[in-house]
Structure 1
Amino acid sequence: MTHHYQQLSPHVIIMHAEHETDRPILAAIAGERRTLLMDAGNSPEHAKLFRSELKRRGVRLPEIMALTHWHWDHTFGMQAWGLPAAAHKETARALSSLRGLDWSDGCLLNLISDGIISEESAADIRKEFGDHRDIRITQPDILFQDRIEFDLGGVVCELVHVGGDHSADSCILHVREDRVLFLGDALGPSVYGGPRKYTSAAFLKLLSTAYGYNADWYVESHGVPMSGEEFRSDLAGWEMLARAVERFGHNREQVIREMKAILQLDELPKDLLQGLDYFMAGAEPV
C-alpha cells in the first residue's frame, strides 16, 4: 500500500486517511518548542508509519498528543507513542470502559451487541490487528471540559469540545497561525448503537461553528483536506437538506420536493438521498 504524506501548511504535516482498515488522518503540528500529534492512529503499525515519516523529514517528534474522540481508529495507536495525551473527560471515560478486554472474536461480538462498536468497526479491527490482537488501552493524562490550548512556540493549537451525533465527546483542533481546522469526525453521523443518523439541529450548529473559524484548510479525519471554499461548496447540499428537515421533520416526500425545487433537479444525487435517510432517522416529528 502506498502511504501519502503532505506538508499542509508551515507547521502542519499530515498522513492521509487510508480506507482499507479505516485509518484516519494523523497530523503533527511542529512549533519552535514542541510538536503536537493529533490523534494516535488506529494501531501501533499506523503510528509507526507516521513516526518514521516524521523522522525522515527531520521533524521534531511529537511530545504531546491531542485526541479528537474515543473511537478505536483514533486511539488504538496510543500504546505505540507513549506520550501524555490531552482529551475530553468523556473520551477518558469511554476509553476507561474498554480497559481489560481481550479483543477476541467473542469480545468483539459482545461490543457489537451492546452497541459500543459496529460490525464494520469489528471487521476493520480484525483486518488491522489480525488474529492475535494485542490491544492495550491507554488512558489520557490531561482532561478538559470545554477547551484547552497548547502553545507550541510560534503556533498555538486549541482543542475544543463540540459534541454532535457521531460521538458526544467529539472535539475539533484549530491551528491558529496556520488557519487549519481539524474536524475529527464531528460532522459524521452516529455510527454505533443503532441506525446511522443525523440530528439536523446538531449538524447545523456544528457547521456554523466550523464556518465561524473561517479557516484556510478544513480537514475531516476520513476525507481529504479542503480549502474554505471547497468545504462550503461540498457541504452546501447537506446544509440545505438539514434546513429542509428542520422545516418538514419526518415528511420525507416534502423534503425531497423542497430539495428538488431548490437544486432544480429531477432526481436528487445518491449522496443526498443517503444523507436524507440519516436525517430522517434522527428527525423529530413536527
Structure 2
Amino acid sequence: MDTPGPRRLAGRVWIVPGDPDPENIRGSVAVVADDSGSVVVDAGQSPAHAREIQSAIRAAGLPPARWLVYTHHHWDHVWGACAWPDVEIVGHVSGQEILRREAARPWSHRYLRDEVRANPRLGPSFRARALAMQGWDDFTILPPGRTFTDELTLPTGVRLRHVGGAHAPDSTVALVPDSKVALLGDCFYPPPAHLRAPDDGPDLAMVRDLLSDDYEWYVDSHGEPTTLEQARRLVST
C-alpha cells in the first residue's frame, strides 16, 4: 500500500499513519520537524516502508531526517532503518545487543517459513515480515549507534525516557514538550503474541504514570492519537 501523507498533530509533530489492517503490522511513524533536521520516531517496518515515509516527508515540505529514534527493538519499528540515509540512530542501551543478535540471523523468506514450522506461534509476525519484504539483498538490521540508560534530550528538545515494560525491555517514550505531545510506541502493550499468556493485557498502570497536564496528546504506534482527557477516561474504567 502507498503510505498516506503526514498530518500535523500539534505544534511541530506530524504523524505518518500506519495500516489499520492488523495482518500487515505497519504502525504509524512520527516526525518532529526542526530546522536543524527532523527527528523521526521509528524507522518503518521495511526498507520499502521507510522510503515511502521519506517521500511523504519531502512532499509535505518537512526538513529531512537527522535523528532516527527507536521506541523499541521489534521488527516493525526498526526494519526500515537501513533505508534511512545520513541519520543518527538512537535507542535504549538494552535494545542494542538484542538487535545485534537479530542482525546475525539469516533472514530470508525460507528462514521465516522454517521458523514458523518450528514454532507456529510465530506465524502472524513472520507472515507479516514476509509480506513486508520485497527482497533481502540490501537488507540489514541496524542497532542504535547512540544509546542511553534512563533519559536523553536530543538537540531539538525531544526528550527520550526509558520505561521498559512487558512488551519490550527497551521501550522508550519520546516527549515533545513544546508541542505537548507524548509518543508512546508500544510501551503499554502486552507481550508479543508468541510470548503472550491468556491473561496478559495492556499495562494501564504504566499509562496512568505517564499521563501529565504537561502533555495534551498521547500517541501509540498502532492506534489513533488520544487526548489527555480521553486517555484519563480510558485508564479509569
Normalised to the residue count of structure 1, the TM-score between the two structures is 0.74
Match of 1:39 among 42, 45, 63: 42
CA–CA distance in 1 between the matches of 2:225 and 2:19? 14
Deviations 1:151-197 (A, max 9, x none): 31xxx111111011111111111001101001100011001553346
1:265 matched residue in structure 2: none
Q: Which residue of 1 aligns with 2:123?
A: 119
Query: Which of 58, 62, 71 lines up with 1:68 in the alignment?
Result: 71
Higher mean C-alpha deviation, range 207-216 or range 31-40: 207-216
- Is the contact between residue 87 and residue 140 of structure 1 (CA under 8 Å) also seen in structure 2? yes
1:137 alignment counterpart: 141
Distance across 1 between alignment mates of 2:93 and 2:160: 13
- Find the aligned partners of 2:168 and 2:198 in 1 and give their Cα distance: 12
Tell me the distance in 1 between the aligned counterparts of 2:115 and 2:177.
38
- For 1:213 and 1:123, the matched residues in 2 are separated by 41
Partner Cα separation in structure 2 for residue 219 and residue 145 of structure 1: 22
Distance (whole Å) between structure 2 residues aligned to residue 97 and residue 110 of structure 1 = 18
Aligned partner of residue 87 in structure 1, secondary structure? strand
Task: Show the counterpart of 1:209.
Answer: 209
Q: Residue 181 of structure 2 corresponds to which residue in structure 1?
A: 180
Larger radius of gyration: 1
Partners of 2:117 and 2:151 in 1: CA distance: 33
Whether the 8 Å CA contact 2:5–2:57 is kept in 1: the answer is: no
Structure 1 unmatched runs, 5+? 238-286
2:38 partner letter: T
Asked if residue 160 in structure 1 is aligned to residue 161 in structure 2, the reply is yes
Shift of 1:230: 1.5
Please tell me whether the aligned partners of residues 33 and 63 of structure 2 are also in contact (alpha carbons under 8 angstroms).
Answer: yes
Match of 2:77, as an amino acid? H
1:20-39 → structure 2 map (5 Å cutoff): 20=21, 21-39=24-42
Deviations 1:1-48 (A, max 9, x none): 462521111211110121342111111111232311101000111111
Distance 1:210 1:113 in 2: 40
Check whether the contact 1:15–1:25 (CA below 8 A) recurs between aligned residues.
Answer: yes
* Matched letter for residue 222 of structure 2: H
Q: Does 1:103 align with 2:104?
A: no
Q: 1:216 to 1:198 in 2, by over 3 A?
A: farther
Richer in helix (by share):
1
> Contact 2:190–2:196 (CA<8 Å) still a contact in 1?
no
> Which AA in structure 2 matches 1:93?
E
1:86, distance to aligned residue in structure 2 (A): 0.6
2:129 is the alignment partner of 1:128? no
Distance in 2, Cα, partners of 1:137 & 1:124: 17
Give the secondary structure class of the aligned counterpart of 1:98. Answer: helix
* 3-state SS, counterpart of residue 90 of structure 2: strand
AA matched with 1:203 = D
Higher relative contact order (CA 8 A, sep 6+): 2
Structure 2 vs 1, CA of residues 33 and 121 (structure 1 numbering), >3 Å: closer, same or farther?
same
**Counterpart-to-counterpart distance in 2, 1:95 and 1:114:** 22
For 2:152, the equivalent position in structure 1 comes to 148
Q: Is the 8 A contact 2:90 2:146 kept in 1?
A: yes
* Structure 1 counterpart of 2:171: 170
How many residues are treated as equivalent by the alignment?
231
2:44 is the counterpart of 1:52: no
How far apart are 1:208 and its partner, in Å? 2.6
> C-alpha separation between the residues in 2 aligned to 1:56 and 1:6?
12
